[in-house]
Structure 1
Amino acid sequence: MNEMLPLFPLQLVAFPGESLNLHIFEPRYRQLAKACEEGGATFGIPAYINGKVMEVGTEMRLVAVEKRYPNGELDIRTEGIRPFRIEQFFRQAPGKLYAGAQVDWLEYTSTEGDITISMQLIELIGELFALLSIDKPVPEDPATLQTFDVAHHVGFSIEQEYQFLCIPNELARQEYMRAHLEKMLPVVREMNNLQERARMNGHFKNLQPPKF
């Protein structure tokens, strides 16, 4: 059965379980934040990509209002709940300033991945973070690794993040992420090698000549 869900389209992909901080300044979204705060409403974030509201998004709940500004703007903390698919989009929800949609909830799993692939992902992510000097803890426990938790940090484009959100089960997301990292890491390694060679230009080099 379709349900009406308020929408807050953004040029980003939100994932289930994600904590997302938002600054609310437009009157229509201040109205939406008020509905969430006073009535417990949830809202959806569909990605806005290439000038289009995408049909799959994530339902969000308001966790806290962190700051209120004198002009009515807000800083809020939200959390992703579950994915949805837009069945009918309304530029304005009935009687509201903000957009809305009739949506269907999508089935998805955040667990039931493969422990061996989890171990491989941790190794690949660790190498990526080291090569790019990313100051973020690398997941340690393969038994608790959930791909949605690291999906913003593995070099996906926004289009890839959207494709990733549309994958309904954890095993398939693991395989998608592993394939992406295995394709991306050789490029990053070569970039690092080029940077290192550039730094060495003009320096005395102690090189071992080849033996013929």
Structure 2
Amino acid sequence: MNHFLPFFPLNLVVYPKEKLNLHIFEPRYKQLITECYAQHTTFGIPCFINNKIEGYGTEMRLLAISKIYEDGKMDIETQGLRIFKLLSFENPVKSKLYAGGEVQALELIDDASEPITTQLIGQVKQLYSLLQLNLNLDFKLYQYLSFELAHKIGLSTEQEYQLLTMPSEKSRQEFLVTHLQNAIPLIQDMERTKERIRLNGHFKHLDPLNF
């Protein structure tokens, strides 16, 4: 079903259930958030990438206004609800300071494949081991694992946006698997280069060669 949303375009990608803290300082967005709070309504974050509004974004719920400053600026807590396709864009909305437009919710398909999911989890663990980082994540907790991992494996903003537009969980996981298949060998090469640099100038114990 189509519906209207006030818009807060940002140069980032937000996924369903993701929490996002924002500092609100522009008059148009102070107006937007004040109205959402008073009317218990939602707002949309259309993705703004390469200096243009893209065709998809995320509907957001305002969880709390954690602080209001003397000049009216605010710190707010929000959470992603659902992905939408942008149908129209009005800037500004009549009698308002902010933009808005009609959107259509993207229906997500829960079609994850166990072999792909297992491969993806293995690659993510390998990545974090190479980077010597802790991965505090219970993979079984998430209905859409791809959304939970998207910000954690080095995707560009453009790649994160491409993932946002895919309704199929299987397709999203395959996308992440391909990314990691390309990224992990590069990181392995980087680690080998770092090791060679560390060894340079040090005494080396070399086994004699048999000819």
TM band (smaller chain): over 0.9
Aligned partner of 2:96 in structure 1 is 96
Distance (Å, rounded) in 2 between the aligned partners of 1:194 and 1:93? 55
Aligned length: 211
User: Contact 1:91 / 1:99 at 8 angstroms: preserved in 2?
Assistant: yes
TM-fit CA distance, 1:9: 0.6
User: Contact 1:117 / 1:175 at 8 angstroms: preserved in 2?
Assistant: yes
Question: If the length of structure 2 is used for normalisation, what is the TM-score?
Answer: 0.93
Report SS of the residue matched to 2:57.
strand
Distance 1:130 1:77, change over 3 A: same
Q: Aligned ranges for residues 101-120 of structure 1 at < 5 Å?
A: 101-109=101-109, 111-120=110-119
Distance 1:9 1:210, change over 3 A: farther
TM-fit CA distance, 1:207: 3.4
Distance (Å, rounded) in 1 between the aligned partners of 2:51 and 2:66? 30
Aligned partner of 1:137 in structure 2 is 136
Aligned partner of 2:150 in structure 1 is 151
Aligned partner of 2:195 in structure 1 is 196
Distance (Å, rounded) in 2 between the aligned partners of 1:143 and 1:76? 25
- Return 168-177 or 126-135, whichever deviates more: 126-135
* Percentage of pairs with the same residue: 45
Cα deviations across residues 94-132 of structure 1 (Å, max 9, x unaligned)? Answer: 2211111111111113x4312222222121111212222
- Return 13-22 or 120-129, whichever deviates more: 120-129
Cα RMSD, aligned residues only: 1.8
Question: If the length of structure 1 is used for normalisation, what is the TM-score?
Answer: 0.92
Superposed structure 1 runs of 4+ greater than 3 Å apart: 133-136, 138-145, 207-212
Distance (Å, rounded) in 1 between the aligned partners of 2:24 and 2:133? 29
Aligned partner of 2:25 in structure 1 is 25
User: Contact 2:3 / 2:104 at 8 angstroms: preserved in 1?
Assistant: yes
